[in-house]
Amino acid sequence: MLAATTGKAQSIAIEVGHPEAYPGLDNRLTVIAEGVDCRNMYVTVDNGLVSKGDSSCQFLYNVQLAGVAHLSVYTISGGDTSFIASRKIVIRRWPEQFAFYGDKQRGAMSLGEFLAHGRVSSPINAFDISGNNPIESYEILLIRGNSLLFKELNRGGQITDQNLKRLVEIKDGDLIRFKNIYARIVGDPDPRKLNDIEIEIIN
């Protein structure tokens, strides 16, 4: 619960549905001002959009980037709008997200299973949301014994045809590493670096 007091000794309480606001979500705000009917309340924000919710005291707040927003609350009476108070809301980055090849971050696969998957993915790991974080790019390394056979940049989650043709040469015991994996995460202005992946080929 966030509270503020104006110069008129009028208090305002703002309850946020999540512990903090997050980008890309319908953040539910309950705004209550002392002595003010919620039906006569008007709310604005300097970062994102705010709209009326299901009840008169509830508002939905949407924002695209992590950072800070200032919520201003007004009362409307007889056609006049009067400022009540403002509050700062912190918009948090989404929690840590993870990259997978198939369902693995580290482990063994047959060559057929490896080629069948053919992509690095990052299922959304937050807020009970289904879907995937778009993969921007990653490096593929093919290692045999102590030798690095090739290292290539791959754009997008799907392994490109050019890189896939080279991976057909994989042999039993080879290691494939996916490094410097970057994904687009809601609310981040730049691609976020994710975990590395290591797959051993066992036939």
Burial of 52 (0-12, 13-18, 19+ CB in 10 A): middle
Architecture category of domain 2-91 in CATH: Sandwich (2.60)
Task: Tell me the whole-structure pTM to 2 decimals.
Answer: 0.81
Q: Is the dihedral of CA 128, 14, 185, 177 positive or negative?
A: negative
Supply the pLDDT for residue 77: 82
Q: Strand 106-109 vs strand 197-201: parallel, antiparallel, or unpaired? A: parallel
Measured distance CA(50)–CA(53) in Å, rounded: 9
**Per-residue pLDDT tens for 31-48?**
888 788 888 888 899 999
Q: What is the DSSP string of 84-114?
A: EEEEEEEEPPP-----EETTBSEEEE-HHHH
**Per-residue pLDDT tens for 99-108?**
999 999 999 9
**Per-residue pLDDT tens for 144-185?**
999 999 999 999 999 999 998 888 889 999 999 999 999 999
Q: What is the DSSP string of 120-140?
A: EE-B--STT--SBPPEEEEEE
With a CB cutoff of 8 Å and minimum separation 6, the contacts of 40 are 75, 76, 77
- For the chain, residues classed under CATH 2.60.40 are 2-91
Supply the pLDDT for residue 11: 61
